[in-house]
């Protein structure tokens, strides 16, 4: 009998790249029956917290909130140096300092929003919107600042926006750790042996994509906000690295650092545990 696994994956290029083999059946599902939904990251966060998934790509901010119920898989995470969200402005306006100013964030459970709260607490009004709406809102001057993620990291200058701060660079300077953005978590209600099989399938899918990068492009294009192949592969180059293959001790230390800083400000609770098999 196959074991049904409710799997949530984000539409980000690094995830559709890593999961291309799983999504297309190009890798062996090892007897599991993956029931897959592809959603934007904040919807995934909300659905994870509602208990809708057995396995899910999620922001580490949301994972911290669900830490008692999930474990982090060693493969599939997005973390590194030079990968952080950007705080952008509609025009040269300094930093957000006034309650009358409006900052857009890509969802209250995203790690980007957590970083903004860590580094710019109570600095402005915050509105949470789908990440793809942030740059258009800044261009239209209906917001003062925006925390930009995903492909926008490569395209913001073409939209005539101003860089206020690279929140990832600030994290690196203060912690000397790679920035943990998001990862794959599994419900603790799954048997350990099932979680181990899921981990192997995800590792197989990632290995396949890294072996033949161009083969994943059609899957990536289907779900991307940007359709330029060069931009899509820039995204992969930035967010898929050795820590995506295996978090290892450095990744675990980065998760501990994020957990401690969030807990110190009362922004999230729990400590993330990496599945050890």
Residue among 78, 76, 58 nearest 18 (CA): 76
52 in Cβ contact with 6 (< 8 Å): yes
CA atoms within 13 A on the CB side of 244: 25
Give Dmax over CA atoms of the chain in angstroms. 60
150 assigned to active site:
yes
Distance CA 52, CA 54 (A): 7
Neighbours of 210 (CB within 10 A): 15
CB 41 within 8 Å of CB 56: no
Tally Cβ neighbours within 10 Å of residue 50. Answer: 8
Question: Given 20, 109, 120, 150, which residue is catalytic?
Answer: 150
- So which residues are the catalytic ones? 150
């Amino acid at each position: 009998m196959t074991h049904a696994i409710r799997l949530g994956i984000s539409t980000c290029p690094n995830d559709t790249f890593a999961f291309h083999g799983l999504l297309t059946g190009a890798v062996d599902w090892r007897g599991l029956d993956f029931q897959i939904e592809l959603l934007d990251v904040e919807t995934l966060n909300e659905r994870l917290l509602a208990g809708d998934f057995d396995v899910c790509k999620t922001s580490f901010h949301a994972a911290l909130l669900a830490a008692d119920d999930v474990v982090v898989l060693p493969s599939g995470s997005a973390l590194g140096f030079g990968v952080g969200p950007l705080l952008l402005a509609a025009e040269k306006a300094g930093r957000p300092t006034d309650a009358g100013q409006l900052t857009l964030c890509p969802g209250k459970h995203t790690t980007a929003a957590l970083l903004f709260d860590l580094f710019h607490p109570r600095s402005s009004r915050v509105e949470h919107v789908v990440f793809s709406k942030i740059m258009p809102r800044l261009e239209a001057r209906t917001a003062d600042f925006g925390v930009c993620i995903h492909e926008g990291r490569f395209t913001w200058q073409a939209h005539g926006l101003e860089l206020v701060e690279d929140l990832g660079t600030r994290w690196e300077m203060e912690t000397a750790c790679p920035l943990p953005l998001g990862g794959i978590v599994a419900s603790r209600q799954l048997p350990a042996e099932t979680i181990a099989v899921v981990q192997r399938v995800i590792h197989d899918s990632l290995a396949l994509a890294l072996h033949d990068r161009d083969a994943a492009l059609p899957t990536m294009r289907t779900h991307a906000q940007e359709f330029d192949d060069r931009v899509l592969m820039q995204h992969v180059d930035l967010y898929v690295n050795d820590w995506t293959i295996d978090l290892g001790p450095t990744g675990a230390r980065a998760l501990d650092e994020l957990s401690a800083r969030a807990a110190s400000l009362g922004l999230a609770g729990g400590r993330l545990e990496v599945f050890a098999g």
